[in-house]
């Protein structure tokens, strides 16, 4: 992967912001995503944010070698502290856990003023991100799921708006599986949740062999609920 050829995962993320005039890539690592977008779209300007010194220096080097210093501002800082309110139209956060992405958004939500689109790619716990979006009046307008290097990745695309009505029915199931993804389950979606289902069934079998402690009873109930959600969706495929 480099500034001319992104991974399939980052290419999918790029497709959701390539129409914007400006965006910030948080946790940009080598700044491949903003470099690629600026090289392919001459009207885009970007901020590449990175908190770790090594990746921060790598991003600066990448931008310099690509001769994009006038269009990509590489900044060192934690989460959204690298941008100002109304500075960018979009924000991408890719390659982190869902809980971390949600905490980044929560800690920096005053910086989201003027942002028209969030493109978020959690490596796990996508439900954590969906909950944050729902509770903070961001409307989930699209979702994608793909597999890369034998790992499943979900991409969530949100814009400002109230999304409460979407979750009036089957709230927990939609938060876990994705309201857009369950409408028309792709083969990758099916593979992901079949795999999760098998894992949960193994865990549930082991739990049933243990003593009936309150904590185990609660965990079994949670797993059984998840299995029910997945089964309901897969049955209709």
Write out pLDDT tens, residues 23-73: 999 999 999 999 999 999 999 999 999 999 999 999 999 999 999 999 999
Dihedral sign (CA 104, 105, 109, 113) = positive
As a whole number of Å, the CA-based R_g of the chain is: 19
pLDDT at residue 5, as a whole number = 80
> Which segments of the chain does DSSP mark as H helices, in order?
8-15, 32-40, 53-65, 98-107, 126-135, 171-177, 187-208, 214-235
Give the H or E element holding residue 146. Answer: strand 138-148
CA angle, 154 as apex, 21 and 129 as ends, to 5°? 80
Q: Which range marks the domain in which residue 14 is found?
A: 8-168
Residues 148 and 206 in one domain: no
The total domain count for the chain is 2
Residue 223 in any domain: the answer is yes
Residues 19 and 98 in one domain: yes
Residues 216 and 161 in one domain: no
Residues 57 and 117 in one domain: yes
Tens-place pLDDT, residues 120-173: 999 999 999 999 999 999 999 999 999 999 999 999 999 999 999 999 999 999
Residue 63 in any domain: the answer is yes
Place of tokens 């876990």: 176
pLDDT at residue 164, as a whole number = 95
Coil vs helix vs strand at 157: strand
Residues 162 and 209 in one domain: no
Flag whether pLDDT at 77 surpasses 70. yes
Q: With 0.85 as the threshold, say if the pTM is over it.
A: yes
Residues 55 and 110 in one domain: yes
Residue 183 in any domain: the answer is no
Residues 115 and 25 in one domain: yes
CATH number where 24 lies: 3.40.50.150
Residues 35 and 135 in one domain: yes
């Amino acid at each position: 992967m480099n500034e001319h050829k992104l991974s399939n995962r980052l290419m999918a993320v790029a497709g959701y912001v390539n129409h914007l005039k400006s965006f910030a890539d948080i946790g940009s690592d080598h700044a491949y995503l903003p470099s690629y977008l600026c090289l392919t779209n001459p009207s885009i300007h970007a901020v590449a944010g990175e908190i770790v010194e090594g990746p921060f220096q790598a991003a600066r080097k990448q931008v310099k070698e690509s001769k994009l210093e006038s269009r990509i501002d590489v900044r060192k800082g934690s989460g959204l502290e690298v941008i100002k309110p109304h500075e960018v139209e979009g924000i991408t956060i890719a390659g982190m856990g869902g809980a971390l992405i949600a905490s980044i958004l929560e800690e920096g939500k005053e910086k989201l003023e003027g942002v028209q689109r969030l493109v978020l790619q959690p490596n796990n716990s996508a439900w954590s991100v969906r909950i944050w979006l729902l509770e903070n009046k961001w409307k989930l307008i699209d979702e994608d799921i793909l597999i890369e290097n034998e790992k499943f990745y979900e991409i969530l695309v949100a814009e400002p708006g109230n999304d409460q009505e979407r979750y009036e029915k089957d709230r927990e199931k939609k938060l876990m599986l994705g309201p857009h993804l369950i409408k028309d389950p792709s083969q990758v979606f099916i593979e992901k949740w079949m795999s999760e289902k098998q894992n949960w069934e193994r865990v549930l079998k082991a739990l049933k062999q243990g003593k009936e402690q309150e904590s185990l009873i609660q965990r079994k109930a949670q797993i059984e609920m998840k299995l029910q959600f997945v089964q309901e969706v897969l049955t209709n495929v």
